A = this chain, B = another copy of it.
Amino acid sequence: MLTEPPHHLTPEEFREAGYVTIDWIVDYLAGIEDQPVFPAVEPGQIRASLPDAVPEVGEPIEDVLADVDRLIAPGITHWQHPGFFGYFPGNSSAPAVLGELISAGFGIQGMLWSTSPACTELEIHVLDLLVDICGLPDRFRSDGPGGGVIQDSASSASLCAVLAARDRAGGAAVLADLRVYTSSQSHSSIEKDVRVAGFGAHQLRAIDTDGDYAMDPSALRAAVKADLADGLIPCLVVATVGTTSSGAFDPLPEIAEVAAGAGAWLHVDAAWAGSAAVCPEYRWILAGLEHADSYVFNPHKWMLTNFDCSAFFVADRKPLLDSLSVVPEYLRNTASDSGEVIDYRDWQVPLGRRFRSLKLWFVLRSYGVEGLRAHIHHHVEAASELAGRISANPRLELATPVSLALVCFRHVDGDVAGENLLTALNATGEVLLTHTRLSDRYVLRVAVGGSRTTSDHVGRLADLLDDLA
Contact = CB atoms under 8 A, between A and B. Distances in A.
A72 B326 contact: no
Q: Which of A23, A38, A102 has the most CB of B within 10 A?
A: A102
Interface string A293-329: 0000000100010111000000000000001101111
Contacts of A244: 328, 330
A68 interface: yes
A113 interface: yes
B451 A8 contact: yes
Given A11-B26, A200-B171, A329-B435, A374 B3 contact: yes
Interface string A60-103: 01011100100111111111100000010011111111101110
Interface stretch (A222-230, A257-265, A377-385): A377-385
Interface residues of A, number: 169
Contact of A370 (B11, B56, B304, B335): B56
A307 B352 contact: yes
A24 interface: yes
A354 B308 contact: yes
A187 B330 CA distance: 10
Contact of A324 (B14, B192, B203): B192
A122 B55 CA distance: 16
Given A14-B29, A41-B117, A68-B102, 8 more contacts: A43-B335, A54-B364, A61-B366, A76-B119, A152-B350, A155-B351, A193-B349, A300-B352
Q: Which 10 A-B pairs have the closest CB atoms?
A: A198-B198, A75-B118, A92-B107, A25-B105, A18-B22, A172-B200, A6-B371, A58-B368, A3-B377, A9-B94
